[in-house]
Amino acid sequence: MHIDQANIFNLKSLWKKYGSQIQIFNNNDKKIQAQPELHINTLWPHRCWFNGSIILNDFSWLSNIPEMTIFPIWPMLDDKGNSVEASTELELIEKQLQKNNWHCMLEQTAMFLALSDDANEYRVETRIGFTIKKVETPDNITLWLGIVSDAFGYSVDRTVIEKLTNEPDMQILMAYENSQAIASAILYKTGDIIGIHQFGVKQDFQGKGFAHSFMKEIIAACHLWQGKNIVLQASSSGKPLYEQLGFQSQFLIKSYQRQ
């Protein structure tokens, strides 16, 4: 699988882990399952996405999508990372979203970092008082959710995170400055690809180098976890840090939501 495809595969697989259902809607007065499959998160992060190729003759299904849903648009790519015909369908969907009063509420850049086999490259200088712990207990989850809310300005459904703490392909992490929990992240492994998600630092601790320290620790952890590539989706504010750490840009993801 090309690394561009692997980035989206990791992301969609994680959304499924969070909890999703296939949308059912009326088409020509017959209730049918959307083809291709249209998945919608039942709770946070309220995303919807297609699985498989996209061939659509009408867009009436858009009106049946729940109000809070966020619809991400990215290029459709083949095994070599080249754009395919389905991208035209995505362009049509994007135009229909805009026509039906959906607005682009978030732009992100898909990025990746290829990991080498040399463990010496991932030695981390110890920052005094800075530690990383896995989220494993109810109290840990409460602290982690508080960090996410403070860093991103939205709430995450507790039930979504509770069911992930014992997943073998998942690491939910929290960074501490001395005894205070200040940063969050989720690592999700699909094959030899590790995705970094929900990477955030509490507002009072931003601009002090903690994001850099935490990301260096995460990269080292991904190497120990035998990952070959790390993938993520960067906001405009986070992108400079990732570029500084060697991540390369792949493509743009535009997320739409009803106005």
52 vs 127 pLDDT, higher one: 127
Beta strand pairing call for 193-201 and 229-234: parallel
Question: Can you tell me the mean pLDDT for 49-55?
Answer: 68
pLDDT at residue 29, as a whole number? 40
| pLDDT for residue 203 is more than 50 | yes
| pLDDT for residue 13 is more than 50 | yes
| pLDDT for residue 224 is more than 90 | yes
Q: Would you kindly state where each structural domain of the chain is located, as residue ranges?
A: 3-109, 116-227
Query: CATH topology for 116-227?
Result: Aminopeptidase (3.40.630)
Kindly give, in sequence order, each residue whose CB lies less than 8 Å from that of residue 1, ignoring residues fewer than 6 positions away.
Answer: 9, 79, 191
To the nearest whole percent, how much of the chain has pLDDT over 70?
87
Kindly give, in sequence order, each residue whose CB lies less than 8 Å from that of residue 59, ignoring residues fewer than 6 positions away.
Answer: 92, 93, 96, 100
pLDDT at residue 32, as a whole number? 44
List pLDDT tens digits, range 62-97: 877 888 999 999 987 666 656 554 456 677 888 888
Kindly state the tokens that stand for 5.
């495809």
Residue 23: how many CA atoms within 13 Å on its side-chain side? Answer: 24
pLDDT at residue 33, as a whole number? 46
List pLDDT tens digits, range 158-200: 999 999 999 999 999 999 999 999 999 999 999 999 999 999 9
189 in Cβ contact with 169 (< 8 Å): yes
Q: What is the DSSP string of 112-134?
A: EEEPPS-GGGG--PPPTTEEEEE
* Residue of 149, 148, 157 whose CA lies nearest to 46: 157
Kindly state the tokens that stand for 74.
């990215």
| pLDDT for residue 9 is more than 70 | yes
| pLDDT for residue 58 is more than 60 | yes
48 in Cβ contact with 23 (< 8 Å): yes
| pLDDT for residue 14 is more than 50 | yes
* Residue of 197, 196, 248 whose CA lies nearest to 220: 196
pLDDT at residue 61, as a whole number? 74
